[in-house]
Amino acid sequence: MKKFTESVSFDWRLYRQDIAGSIAHAKGLAKVGILTKAEARKIERGLRAIERKIDAGKFKWDPGLEDVHMNIEAALVRKIGVAGKKLHTARSRNDQVATDMKLWVREAESQCATDIRDLQLSLLLLAERNANVALPGYTHLQRAQPVLLAHHLMAYVEMLWRDAWRFEVFESNLVECPLGSGAIAGTTVPLNRGYVAKLLGFPGVTQIPMDAVSDRDFVLEFLAAAAICGMHLSRLAEDLILWSTVEFGFITIGDAYTTGSSLMPQKKNPDVAELVRGKTGLLYGKLVAALTIMKGLPLTYNRDMQEDNPLVFDAADILQSSLRVMADMLRHTKVNRHRCEAAASDPMLLATDLVDFLVKKGTPFREAHHAVGALVAESEKTGQPLPRLAGKKYGPAAARVFDLRRALAARTAIGAPSPKNVRAQIARWTKIL
């Protein structure tokens, strides 16, 4: 039974938050006269000593004491005696764990936002170093129109910005401190909850204890943000995997981030990107598991809820390590300009520009689209280059449409990939980041 119900094997990671909450609680008890100031100081010194011991890896966790909270409290009582037994006055493990989890998630969200910005910087640096490199843009994984590589990379900078924003918004939602809610209905002890909340960095306190002790929305929000960010990382990983193949050859990933085959000596496998892509599935699983755990629980606290702890811890570890390794890998990724440019020079990529040319001459779009489609079919059937066919039918000006650099320079609308626009975006994001 002890082995089945214990949680200290994973919730020991809350020790810093638990100690911070206990110190604040002790000061709150002293403020209303439940503890003397000397007792509160004695409790704080004892807890700080326990924290240092845990930091040093010398604390022995006892599964028989069930969780991180009881382990620390028992150690405190052994260390300072009777004063330690007074610490749990006017609180329950229900409001204690809710507070610890809010503190932990708040820190995790802040760290994730920091790691996201570091990855954005890596993308930005790669874009800046290769600002003029053109390559095909794709839809349906088929060549569509030419873009600049930097433009492609900046799309991920934009995605990641939304991810950082999500973590920061969810972090800003963690404004109410549950400590003092008790098990379900508060306490008869006249606590100054606002004082304790301020000590822990919360602007306010929760109002309804039944919700406060059973709320795990902040956990679900963290896991949802992590899953969405993981999805963006997986999409980036997929692009990098494709680009690193012999068939594409657009990039070369540094040897430290690839592995060889156990059988085929010529192989260079993009294992880091593949693992990041795979770990996204784990992030999805954490979110779905937490939603499923919470979906049928009556008010208020139920033991099921301890199972959210490893989900959050694992998700944070997976996401933060993925962000960091991707950022580092991109700093050691080389762009093969000649392969990118060769692919981008396919005249078929500028068929739409020929449509635009005809539209500007007064041809209705649908007619222009049909006419250029016919030219494309003729080019594929006869093997004649599309620019030559266009020049024959519509004159030399039509053939000049297929000049890649000219075509890119003409893309001047907001967000379009002209070199000028892309440089402006790089400058904008450099300033932001």
Type and span of the H or E element at 274: helix 271-294
345 is catalytic: no
140 is catalytic: yes
What span, in angstroms and rounded, lies between the C-alpha atoms of 5 and 14? 17
Residue holding tokens 């000006």?
A: 397
* 65-179-187 Cα angle (round to 5): 95
What span, in angstroms and rounded, lies between the C-alpha atoms of 287 and 88? 32
Q: Are 175 and 102 in contact (CB under 8 A)?
A: no
What span, in angstroms and rounded, lies between the C-alpha atoms of 312 and 289? 11
What span, in angstroms and rounded, lies between the C-alpha atoms of 10 and 368? 65
Which one is catalytic: 9, 110, 172, 261?
261
Residue holding tokens 């949680």?
A: 7
CA pseudo-torsion sign 121, 126, 129, 134: negative
Using a 10 angstrom Cβ sphere, with 0-12 exposed, 13-18 middle and 19 or more buried, the burial of residue 23 is buried
What does the block give as tokens for 106?
Answer: 């708040």
Q: Are 222 and 108 in contact (CB under 8 A)?
A: yes
Of 91, 87, 299, the C-alpha closest to 188 is: 91
Q: Are 184 and 213 in contact (CB under 8 A)?
A: yes
Compute CA distances 182 → 70, 116, 364, 393, whole Å.
Answer: 16, 37, 72, 83
Helix (H, G, I), strand (E, B) or coil at 312: helix
Per-residue b/e over 36-52, b at no fewer than 16 CB within 10 Å?
A: eeebbebbbebbeebbe
Q: Are 134 and 408 in contact (CB under 8 A)?
A: yes
Helix (H, G, I), strand (E, B) or coil at 135: strand
The catalytic site residues sit at: 140, 261
